[in-house]
Structure 1
Amino acid sequence: MQTLKVLGALLTYPDEGVLAALDEMEQVLLEENRLPPSQRDALRRLIADFRNADPFDVQETYVALFDRTRSLSLHLFEHIHGESRDRGQAMVDLSEMYAARGLVIDAKELPDYLPMFLEFLSMIPEDEALDLLSETAHVIAALADRLKGRESGYHAVLAALQTLAGDPTAQLAAVVTPAEEGDPDESWQEAEVTFGGGAALAGCPAARETLGRM
């Protein structure tokens, strides 16, 4: 599903390559038509904001949100394992799952980076991709809620992922509690995510390569 690839691209650092691909991203969203009109329109508004703003301002906003705010980290396992040893093994398991399906990442890249995970999901059969995405629903829902509270346009991307992942309400109520800004680990650390019956789930070059193949 190319919509997943587009959502991942919108969550990558908005460098020149990302900004140059905005028209193509918008076209994919329209052609695949996998999201409700209201969410598709919200994504188009975000894309329009990217087009109309100074690129430096777009990049500065991204860094302030996702690089400097720990509770908005796009690294999934940071919200689940924190800095525990379990995170390392989960990374290994996720990398192996990627490699088994043809996505080989650089040793410097972290496999739990959400845009990379979405790139992987766009490569596999849709039913399987949505099943795996649903296993991250509680983290996605929490990120969406935090971005909505900040009135950030990026909320549109996480809201779209929520829709594709299914209703996470039951999981969310069980595992997410209000957290101090910048330190979500305690509220999510027990909410373990495993993929495919036991396999685990910084800006990344693989995501940039995605834009070239879109």
Structure 2
Amino acid sequence: MPSDAVLYQAAALCLTYPDEDLIARLPLLRQAAPQLRGFTDHAALTPPQELAAHYVRVFGRGDRHSLYLSRWYDGGIRRRGMSVARFGDVYRRHGLECSRGEMPDFLPAVLEFTARTGDSVLLTEYRDGLERLRMRLTGYGTPYAGVLDAVCATLPTVYTSRPP
């Protein structure tokens, strides 16, 4: 079984918009993170345009399947400001910054941060939101649910109170 760091990095890639780079990496992701084979096999067999359209249907419309972790607690943009700033502070403590144009609470960014640093504090604190997203993706019937299944399986039990 691969390390959690490998799984988190692979999951981060699987949860980004499926471009040519992701398609090219699918065989490596399949081998490196067998827990994600349900998704990687689906993605490998799905025409790229169809895969991209599915990603937009799942993640591109509203907050129902939001990949922005603070939205699971704070809702609208005004209330999210403090939480988003906290994500950035945690990254900076490790000498990292989120790439331009992306919010630090974007789940693929948090997974990559966790893979690079071994610090799972953000995933653990937002575990309840991850579980809610996982359940919604499962109910929607998307292969992306399997990615969240694998990530959630590595985390301690649900964090029961709102992160600071």
**TM beyond 0.5:** yes
Q: Distance in 2 between matches of 1:26 and 1:146?
A: 24
TM-fit CA distance, 1:96: 2.2
Moved more, 67-76 or 51-60: 67-76
Runs of 4+ in 1 over 6 A off after TM superposition: none
Q: Distance in 2 between matches of 1:22 and 1:111?
A: 25
List aligned pairs for 1:1-214, cutoff 5 A.
1-30=5-34, 40=35, 43-83=36-76, 85-125=78-118, 128-129=119-120, 131-168=121-158, 171=160, 192-194=162-164
Percent of residue pairs identical: 28
Q: Distance in 2 between matches of 1:147 and 1:6?
A: 18
TM-fit CA distance, 1:49: 1.2
Query: When the two structures are aligned, how many residues end up with a matched partner?
Result: 160
Instruction: Tell me if structure 1 keeps the 8 A contact 2:87–2:122.
Output: no
> Which structure 2 residue ranges, 5 or more long, are not aligned?
none
Q: Distance in 2 between matches of 1:68 and 1:164?
A: 28
Deviations 1:27-73 (A, max 9, x none): 2114xxxxxxxxx2xx2122111111110000000000001142101
TM-fit CA distance, 1:147: 1.1
Q: Distance in 2 between matches of 1:84 and 1:20?
A: 35
One-letter code of the match for 1:24? L
- Per the normalisation by structure 1, the TM-score is 0.69
Change (3 A) 1:83 1:132: closer
- Per the normalisation by structure 2, the TM-score is 0.88
Q: Distance in 2 between matches of 1:145 and 1:155?
A: 8
SS in 2 for 1:4: helix
Q: Distance in 1 between matches of 2:105 and 2:55?
A: 18
The CA RMSD over aligned residues, in Å, is 1.8
One-letter code of the match for 2:126? T
Q: Distance in 2 between matches of 1:108 and 1:148?
A: 29
Q: Distance in 1 between matches of 2:56 and 2:112?
A: 21
> Which structure 1 residue ranges, 5 or more long, are not aligned?
31-39, 172-190, 195-214
Rg larger in 1 or in 2? 1
Q: Which residue of 2 aligns with 1:33?
A: none
